[in-house]
Homo-oligomer: A and B are copies of this chain.
Amino acid sequence: MKHLADMLIEQSREKKSVLVVGLDPDPRYFPEFLLNRMESRTNEEIAAAILAFNRIVIDAVAEEVVAVKPQLAYYEVYGSHGIHALEQTIAYARTKGLLVINDAKRGDIGSSSEAYAKAFLADGPMAGDMVTVNPFLGSDGYLPFVEEAQRQGKGLFLLLKTSNPSSHEIQNLTLQNGDLLYFKLAEDLSELMRTTAGENGYSFIGAVVGATYPAEAERIRGLLPHCIFLVPGFGIQGGKAEDLDVFFDENGNGALISSSRAIIYSYREGRENGEATTEQEMLQAIKNAARTAKEQINEVRLHSSANRG
């Protein structure tokens, strides 16, 4: 069984990309030709439009990204129909050779985490290749994900420093010994990541660190050399390409950069609300936005590796 981190790095090398596109489908921003398909606004209709939307996005980005990252909230809001659209989206992404990161931020007491880990990392219809995990319940809440990932040759990303403005409220609390909370959490994970590293030196246990917090990323990298960062917040949330340098190692590995709205809604740019977009225009705009993002990121990570090497 191939180690997930090695598979990720190989695919990044082949595709010359560490870009991940977030699949956060929000019908309010859909183009007219999809809005027309959900006139009575039942969950079933909306779910069908979401799947159609995602298929266009996947077709557009398949050559430019290593993985897609569905954000579970955008599917759950339409109940079982929404989850069915997610399952079909995941199946479609696989036919295009893409890895799937379920951005679920799950985490619970042990027995419940075991069930979540099966849902997202075993062989069910919703399972992808990696899942994001919230560590607030402590190790017996996240170890079931580690164990399932190990069994299945899959991976996970633990939240360490999230991209949102108020992430500091808990994650940056100063502890008695002067350390910040996210740093202490990183220390706790250090040995586990070291002992689960693959051939390329990276573990299948990664961490979420927002593009909006490069200083924190640099400190965490010093502590966790075996950790792949999943880096949301690039684009709309304010993360800039020039700040991404610190997320990568000297070979340009060690991080996946995720962008959602700036790519999947790029066809809306410069248009009046409600102005029609054809499917072909939508696909082309998304493809261009993904390619541009990929190239901006590559400039930083390959430049940075040239500098350091």
- Are A77 and B115 in contact, with the CB atoms below 8 A? yes
Contacts of A107 in B (CB 8 A): 105, 134
| B137 x A106 contact (CB < 8 A) | no
Residue of A78, A112, A134, A140 with most partner-chain B CB within 10 A: A112
Query: Are B43 and A125 neighbours in the complex by a CB distance under 8 Å?
Result: yes
A166 touches B178 (CB 8 A): no
Write out the residue numbers on chain B whose beta carbons fall within 8 Å of the beta carbon of A116. Answer: 73, 76-77
**Cβ A112 vs Cβ B71 within 8 A:** yes
Q: Does A87 contact B (CB under 8 A)?
A: yes
A80 at the interface (CB under 8 A from B): yes
Of listed A87, A140, A163, A166, residue having the most chain B CB within 10 A = A166
**Any chain B CB within 8 A of the CB of A141?**
yes
User: Whole-angstrom distance from the CB of A290 to the nearest CB of chain B?
Assistant: 20
Q: Select A169's contact among B106, B111, B138, B174, beta carbons within 8 Å.
A: B138
**Contacting pair A173 B184 (CB below 8 A):** yes
Say yes or no: is A213 at the interface (Cβ < 8 Å to chain B): no
Interface 1/0s, chain A 137-172, versus B by CB < 8 A?
111110000000000000000010011111111110
User: Can you list 22 A-B contacts (CB < 8 A)?
Assistant: A73-B108, A73-B119, A76-B119, A77-B115, A77-B116, A79-B83, A79-B119, A79-B125, A80-B87, A80-B125, A83-B83, A110-B164, A134-B136, A136-B162, A136-B171, A137-B159, A137-B162, A138-B164, A138-B168, A138-B171, A139-B166, A140-B166
* Cβ of A74 under 8 Å from chain B: yes
The answer to the question of A175 belonging to the interface, with a C-beta cut-off of 8 Å to chain B, is yes
Q: A113 interface residue, CB < 8 Å from B?
A: yes
- A residues lining the B interface (CB < 8 Å): 24, 43, 71, 73-74, 76-81, 83-84, 86-87, 103, 105-116, 118-119, 124-126, 134-141, 159, 162-171, 173-176, 178, 181, 184-185, 188, 232, 237
Q: Are A165 and B136 in contact (CB under 8 A)?
A: no
Q: Name the distance in Å between A109's Cβ and chain B's nearest Cβ.
A: 4
- Report B-chain residues with C-beta under 8 Å of the C-beta of A87: 79-80
Interchain CA distance A80-B261 in the complex, whole Å: 25
Are the CB atoms of A109 and B163 closer together than 8 Å? yes
Given contacts A112-B73, A134-B107, contact A181 B173 (CB under 8 A): yes
Chain B residues lying within 8 Å of A162, measured Cβ to Cβ, are 109, 136-137, 141
Besides A73-B112, A78-B119, 8 more A-B contacts (Cβ < 8 Å) are A73-B114, A77-B119, A79-B87, A136-B170, A137-B162, A140-B165, A173-B184, A175-B176
Q: How far is the CA of A296 from the CA of B177 in the complex (A)?
A: 43
